[in-house]
Amino acid sequence: MRLGGRVAGAIEVLADIEARRRPVADALKDWGLSHRFAGSGDRAAIGNIVYDALRMRLSHAWLMEDESPTALAFAVLIRQWGFSPETLAAELEDDKFAPALPSFEPLLSRDLADAPLHIQGDIPDWVQPSFEAGFGENWLAEAKALAGRPTLDLRANTLKASRDKVVKALDRSGAAASPIARNGVRIAAGEGPSRLPNVTAELSFQKGWFEVQDEGSQIVADLVMPAEGAQVLDYCAGGGGKTLAMSAAMHNKGQIHAYDTDRKRLAPIIERLKRAGVRNAQVHDDVRRMENLKEKLDTVLVDAPCTGTGTWRRRPDTKWRLTQKNIEERTGQQQEALTEAAAYVKPGGTLIYITCSVLPEENDAQARRFAESNPEFSIEPAAPAWDALFGENAPRPHSRDNATLTLTPASTDTDGFFFCRLRRKA
């Protein structure tokens, strides 16, 4: 396919997402199944246009004075892919599959600095107060950073391979050591139609040398700092990413109990544990069978259900589906998870609260509300652990008081994650 056909395909997918309010991954998959002539490079390019358009939907629409899928797709090519109207016209000349070019006059004449601030930041207008409350005068930079393309991040599984060994195995993919995470490996996001490598097809992945895991997720798992012989509960384990990371940090010693109420989310963990060579993890899907663990565990990790605002770079469609009701539902679930998980922490043990959100309602406010309601728990400053693990010269996450930490694309070049350590009185 030439560029014109790829743009036309992206417009079809964007129209489908808008009409049916469905996840972008589902819309792209269905388009690929109904257009089997499209090669893998074509599908990747179409996906890139769609994701880029959704990440910057508001600013594209404002500059084009048009929020249609066609306007958004062409705005991507001009603003993000490096085309000028002239070079784009030349590229699409004689391409019978190319859509008609829209007018670029508004885009060329308007200055984004004149747009409302939430449009400049490409976030819903009603979310702006939360960003202001969470990040103060830096909120706009934080919002803009969430509209960029994410890198592909991997974690070297030190139970089987060193980071250097993984980097060497993936040298054709442009892999390099991550900036912060101690066992992280990073592959740059790429530009325009370029596609990221399918690293899970690599033999080194099948051997369990590495896992696909955002650097932010690796960092917050590292900040848990579980001791080698510790008894740990990963209370909302999901697919097991943090369980795997903690197992490696504990050198396969001690015991990790991985629990989740959602059996579908938990299902992949068995194969992942086996591939990674993890021997110190037990998987639970029935809370009744964990009764004997109450008040006996050194560390309990609550990777709480959240809005996922920290992952907007990877799932930009969710940015435009978010509602106030979603936040209210999640905050209720978070308080419930914290209360339930706290029962397993032994006196003197730690309760770790993590989200992949950047909204203060789900983060600081939740941790402080829990501590106020449960005086046997107190927030323990997390900044010293950051310095001890990553060094004082490493990029620093957002923090008002060095007690809790919020990782963001703008501050740490990772997905957004919140971390808080609460200590139970001995």
Where is the binding site for S-adenosyl-L-methionine, in residues? 260, 303
User: Which residues are annotated as part of the binding site?
Assistant: 260, 303
Residues 6+ apart with CB under 8 A from 216: 310, 356, 407, 412, 414, 415, 416, 417
Q: How far apart are CA 172 and CA 175, in angstroms?
A: 8
Q: How far apart are CA 413 and CA 241, in angstroms?
A: 19
- The beta strand positions in 314-426, using DSSP E, are 345-355, 377-380, 405-407, 417-424
Q: Which of 236, 306, 356, 420 is catalytic?
A: 356
Dump the DSSP string for 186-239. EE----TT-----GGGSHHHHTTSEEE--HHHHHHHHHH---TT-EEEETT-TT
CB 11 within 8 A of CB 73: yes
Q: Is 298 helix (H, G, I), strand (E, B) or coil?
A: strand
Q: How far apart are CA 84 and CA 87, in angstroms?
A: 5
Active site annotation includes 356: yes
Q: How far apart are CA 254 and CA 181, in angstroms?
A: 23
For helices 57-64 and 40-55, the axis angle rounded to 10 degrees is 80
Report the catalytic residues: 356
